[in-house]
Amino acid sequence: MDRLEQQLRFVLELDRLKSVYRRTYLIDGTRNENSAEHSWHLALLAMTLAEHANEPLDVGKVIRMVLIHDIVEIDAGDTYIYGDQENKAEREHQAADRLFGLLPPDQAAQFRSLWEEFEQAATPEARFANALDRFMPQLHNYHTQGRSWKEHGITAERVLTRNIDISYGSETLWEWTQTLIRQADDEGMFPEEK
C-alpha cells in the first residue's frame, strides 16, 4: 500500500476516539466528555501551564504526548481511574499494536515510543503530561458540583490518594488541587464516607 494511503487509514481510524466517552462531564453538565476532545483540552493545558512543571521540559513533546495518550482507547475503551485496572495494560498494548501498526513502520515506531514514554512516566515530559491528565478531571468534577464523584462513590481522601502523581509533574498544580478538593469537601461535593 502507498505510504499516504496508510497514513490516511490511520487518520480515519482516529475518528473513533470521538465516540469513546469518559466518566467526567462537560463543565456545563450537558453530557459526558469524549477522549478526543479531552486530549485537545490537555494539549491546550500543556501550552498554557508548562511554566508550572517541576522540571525544565520540551513543551512540544508534552503536547504530542497528550494528543496521542488515549488513542489506544479506540480498541481498549476508557478505564476509569477509580475502577478495576485488571488487564488494562494488556488490552492497551494490543490496541497500540493494531492502531499504531496502521502507520508506515517508521511512524508506527515513533508514535509507539511516545505512547510508551507517557505510560512509563519516567521522563520530565511524561511526568508533566500525566499530571495534566490527572489534574483536569478535578476541575471538571468541581465545576459540576462533584457529579461524577457522587455517581461513583468517590471520597475526597480517595481523590487525594489516587492523584498524587500530579505532584510528580507539578508541585504547584498539586497544591492547587489539594486546596480545591478541600473546598469541594467543605461544599458537600463528595458522597458520605462508606
Which positions touch a second copy (CB under 8 A)? 4, 7-8, 10-12, 14-19, 26-28, 30, 33-34, 36-37, 39-41, 43-45, 47-49, 52, 60, 63-64, 67-68, 103, 107, 111, 136, 139-140, 143, 172, 176
Output the smallest distance, CB 124 to a second copy, in A: 17
- Angle CA 22–35–175, to nearest 5: 75
CA dihedral 142, 145, 147, 152 (to 10 degrees): 70
Q: Is 25 helix (H, G, I), strand (E, B) or coil?
A: strand
CA atoms within 13 A on the CB side of 20: 21
Q: Which is nearer to a second copy, 136 or 181 (CB)?
A: 136
Q: Which is nearer to a second copy, 7 or 54 (CB)?
A: 7
Of 115, 103, 127, 124, nearest to 4 (Cα)?
A: 103
Q: Which is nearer to a second copy, 80 or 176 (CB)?
A: 176
Output the smallest distance, CB 192 to a second copy, in A: 28
- Alpha-carbon distance 97 to 117, whole Å? 15
Of 154, 159, 168, nearest to 54 (Cα)?
A: 168
Exposed, middle or buried by CB within 10 Å (0-12, 13-18, 19+), for 99?
buried
Q: Which is nearer to a second copy, 79 or 107 (CB)?
A: 107
Output the smallest distance, CB 44 to a second copy, in A: 6
Output the smallest distance, CB 48 to a second copy, in A: 5
Output the smallest distance, CB 121 to a second copy, in A: 21
Q: Which is nearer to a second copy, 21 or 191 (CB)?
A: 21
